[in-house]
Amino acid sequence: MGIRGRIALAISGMTALAVVVLGFAVHHIAGAERERAARAYADDRLSAALQIYERVGTPVLGAQLDDTTLPLPLREAVFKGRSGTYVSGGEDPRVWAATGVGDRGESAPERTLSVSVAYPDDDPTQVALDRALVIAGVGTVALMAVVSWFVAQRLSRRLRLSAAAARRIAAGEAPDAEALASKGRDEVAELGRSVHHMATSLAARVEAEREFTADVAHELRTPVAGLVTAAELLPEPRAVEMVRDRAQAMRRLVEDLLEVSRLDAGVERADLDACELPSLVRGIVQRAARQRGVDEVSVTVEGEPRIVETDRRRVERVLVNLLANAAKHGKPPIEVVVSGSRIVVRDHGPGYPAELCAEGPRRFRTAAPERGTGHGLGLTIAAGQAEVLGARLDFGAAAEGGAEAVLELPSDLAEREPGPEAAVPGT
């Protein structure tokens, strides 16, 4: 049950409880007032009958002398010299009023003059009042349920806007400032303004960090390029080879930083064209073996080869980074399986850590120590390029152990079986 239903149910329940309590109170007060009026009426009749009896000596107005059906409590009160009223129940409920008359003596004790008035349980006025209370109570609860539902709907809508804005912020998108900039003064309006302020601050910080990364990468690119060029002119001893190796590593780091900054800025766009996916993957594996030294890689094709529309360069960037990560942090053999538009890269090493599988790769974080060292940008770039492709990249554990990365290209792009006229080389 959502917050709308809970709020409406809570308000309706409280209203129903208040209506029930108020109804019982009104019913009790009305019953007490009815009894008081009945006692007063019986007492007035007794007073009138007593006045006439004292003048003429004859009971009138329905009064009786020494009535044998007089209730015992009232008879005892008269015997003690008091007068009063009494309400009797049973099959014939009545209101009684009695008092003593005559002089008390040894041979002529005091007599009792009493009157009684019918006092039915199902009084029409009381029944009508109870019916009106029930109808009014049900109507009030129904009305409050409807009103509380609409009030909760408005509150829920504002909360959903804040939740949607938080999700957009988590996804790296800009929230709707107009929807969050509420002018109210309640807690929900304050929440919306807080989320808006948080979104603005986070967006400014992310933009500042992106610009800083891009600026640093651009500033490093020129001196690193000069360092690489100078290292190439040096002789061939071991120390010079180490300088060249470190210069190339710095160059790759700067290039990776520039690529990350472009992916963060959202300026990358996929250039789609038709290609046969198995041939493309085989060519990528061959080039990775030559350029990155990724050996012992097997390519398996399951099912019929497919021609898909994708960006070859970006697919290669993703697969090369996955293969390089498997070669550096995993153990051979490395297996690549192509099935339709799905590409699986698995190794036989310790596997990806649970944090990476749950949250995805993060820059400058190199997973578990047992998977080696590095700057953590390879898998970050692979995930970013997959997002540009509109593909899905998942990290998990292989069934037989080891790390497994699954690249799922968009299924809504045109796919068709290759024919003699449609075959496109993958290299």
Residue type, 114: S
Cite the DSSP H helix spans in 57-123.
72-79
Q: What is the mean pLDDT of residues 131-153?
A: 86
Q: Do 317 and 228 belong to one domain?
A: no
Percent of the chain at pLDDT above 90?
A: 3
User: 322: left (phi > 0), else alpha (psi -120 to 50), else beta?
Assistant: alpha
Q: Do 412 and 277 belong to one domain?
A: yes
Q: Which of 79, 105, 127 is the last residue of a domain?
A: 127
Q: What is the pLDDT of residue 222?
A: 67
Q: What is the pLDDT of residue 62?
A: 82
- Asked whether the predicted pLDDT for residue 334 surpasses 80, the reply is yes
Number of domains in the chain: 3
Distance CA 171, CA 327 (A): 31
Q: What DSSP designation does 110 have?
A: P
Q: pTM, whole model, 2 decimals?
A: 0.48
- Asked whether the predicted pLDDT for residue 148 surpasses 70, the reply is yes
User: 333: left (phi > 0), else alpha (psi -120 to 50), else beta?
Assistant: beta
Q: Do 304 and 254 belong to one domain?
A: no
Q: Do 20 and 54 belong to one domain?
A: yes
Q: Which two tokens stand for residue 286?
A: 């061959």
In a domain, 254, yes or no: yes
Q: Which of 233, 265, 297 is the last residue of a domain?
A: 265
In a domain, 147, yes or no: no
Distance CA 95, CA 120 (A): 10
In a domain, 150, yes or no: no
In a domain, 158, yes or no: no
Domain that holds residue 99: 3-127
At 49 the three-state DSSP class reads: helix
- Asked whether the predicted pLDDT for residue 369 surpasses 60, the reply is no
Q: Do 14 and 64 belong to one domain?
A: yes
Q: Do 317 and 406 belong to one domain?
A: yes
Cα 57 to Cα 60, 83, 85, 117, 427: the distances in Å are: 9, 19, 22, 22, 134
Could you report the per-residue pLDDT of 47-88, keeping only the tens digit for each? 888 888 888 878 888 888 888 888 888 888 887 878 888 888
Q: What is the pLDDT of residue 239?
A: 62
Q: What is the pLDDT of residue 424?
A: 34
Q: What is the pLDDT of residue 69?
A: 84
Residue type, 131: R
- Asked whether the predicted pLDDT for residue 122 surpasses 80, the reply is no
Q: Do 289 and 376 belong to one domain?
A: yes
Q: Do 292 and 337 belong to one domain?
A: yes
Q: Do 290 and 359 belong to one domain?
A: yes
In a domain, 163, yes or no: no
Q: What is the pLDDT of residue 154?
A: 77
Query: Rg of the chain's alpha carbons, rounded to an integer?
Result: 47
Q: What is the mean pLDDT of residues 255-272?
A: 73
Which residue is associated with the tokens 């008091």?
Answer: 82
Q: What is the pLDDT of residue 390?
A: 86
Q: Do 13 and 116 belong to one domain?
A: yes
- 90 against 367, higher pLDDT: 90
Q: What DSSP designation does 371 have?
A: G
Distance CA 214, CA 196 (A): 27
Are residues 286 and 323 in contact, defined by beta-carbon separation less than 8 angstroms? no
In a domain, 7, yes or no: yes
CATH number of the domain at 333, please: 3.30.565.10
At 266 the three-state DSSP class reads: coil
Give the model's confidence band at 422: pLDDT under 50 very low, under 70 low, under 90 confident, else very high: very low
Could you report the per-residue pLDDT of 293-330, keeping only the tens digit for each? 777 788 888 888 888 888 888 898 889 888 888 888 88
Distance CA 170, CA 193 (A): 17
CATH number of the domain at 239, please: 1.10.287.130
Q: Which of 70, 98, 127 is the last residue of a domain?
A: 127
207-216, 336-345, 408-417: range with lowest mean pLDDT? 408-417
The alpha carbon of 132 is separated from its chain's Cα centroid by a whole number of angstroms, namely 42
Q: Do 384 and 315 belong to one domain?
A: yes
Q: What is the pLDDT of residue 420?
A: 41
81-85, 267-271, 334-338: range with lowest mean pLDDT? 267-271
At 6 the three-state DSSP class reads: helix
Cite the DSSP H helix spans in 237-374.
238-265, 277-291, 312-329, 354-359
In a domain, 181, yes or no: no
Mean of all residue pLDDT scores within the chain: 77
Q: Which two tokens stand for residue 156?
A: 């829920």
Q: Do 244 and 211 belong to one domain?
A: yes
Could you report the per-residue pLDDT of 197-239, keeping only the tens digit for each? 777 777 777 776 667 666 666 666 666 676 667 666 666 666 6
In a domain, 151, yes or no: no
